[in-house]
Every structure is written in C-alpha cells, then in structure tokens.
Structure 1
Amino acid sequence: MKETDLLALANQYLLEEALIVVVVLLVVGAMLKKTPLIADWSIPWLLTGSGIGLAWGVMGAISVQATIQGTLAAGIATLGHQLWKQTFQKREGDQ
C-alpha cells in the first residue's frame, strides 16, 4: 500500500472533521512510544480509545458514527505509522 492509497482510503471513509483526529493520534502515538512506562502492545489500544474520545469531541456527539470515525482515525494513524516504519527504517536482518 502506498501513501496515496492511504490518502484515498481516508478520503473515502473518514469524514473531513475527523481528519484532524488522525494527525493528533500520530503525535500522541509518537509521545507514547517514547514513554518508558507504556508497553508497545498497548499503544494501539490507547490510540483507539483516544481516537473515539477525540472524534466524539470533534463531531460534537457521542454517537455510533463518531465512534466509527474515531476507530477509523486510530486505524489510519496506526497503519500510516507502520507503513512509514516498515518502509524506511532498517531492521536487523534486512538486506
């Protein structure tokens, strides 16, 4: 999946008002990653909960639509981070 595919996916399913949630979650995720007390496996769960809460705030209602948008925002932020990491960061054993 390319960056343009990710943007097309975001534009297709994510409402415009929820796009800011993706950006905020990327920043929050980077901060959580640098926090030694937070286990790496818990970061996607924390981002999902935060995404739902932020979407409720941005959309102005606690609704199914806002919950779905928050979950999608967390998924796009996590997928975007992993695509970047897996593409550009060298790992041990890579050729």
Structure 2
Amino acid sequence: MPPSAPDRSTAPSPGRSNGAQDRLDPALRQRLLQEARTPWRGLRRALWLALTASAGLGLATMTMRLSSGDSVAASDLMIQLTALSLFGGLLWFDRNRDPAS
C-alpha cells in the first residue's frame, strides 16, 4: 500500500504567518525580501563596474593615442563609446532605488 499524501490543509500557506517568520528580525526579513526581489545584485554590479572601467580605460587609451598623433579607427572609437555608455547605463539602472538603504 503506497504511503498517503500529507494533509496540505495543515501546512502553512505563503499568506499565513508561522512561528519562525514571527521570530525573524524585521531588518533581516527586509534584507531577505530585497534579495529575493533582486537576486545577485552585488555580483551584477561588480560585473557592470568592471566592464565600465574596462571600456573607460580603452577609451582613455584611444584618446591618448589620438592626442599623440596616431591614427585610431572611428569604428574602434565608437565601440568603446558604446560600451562605456551601455555598461555605465546598466550600472546606473541596477542601483538601489530605496532611499532607506
């Protein structure tokens, strides 16, 4: 005889509060809820920062080469400008918009 399925009427539903949730520190609970809404934010922001810095460094190198009289392909310059604006925009849009934090 197969084991019977557990009675789901006694299991806490997401809308109901249980004892463990009531004992959770409110600040920790808010942090966990924020992490659930925006997972991996710290890692993403570190990646956007590294890619923005890389594009900025590449653009700075190209402008120094231009100022010294060397030739730089316009397409390469546009790639660096696009990368800088794209990754800078991603870094900006991924910021924490909550004024309390």
Coarse TM-score class (shorter-chain normalised):
0.3 to 0.5
Structure having the higher Rg: 2
Query: Which structure features the higher share of helix residues?
Result: 1
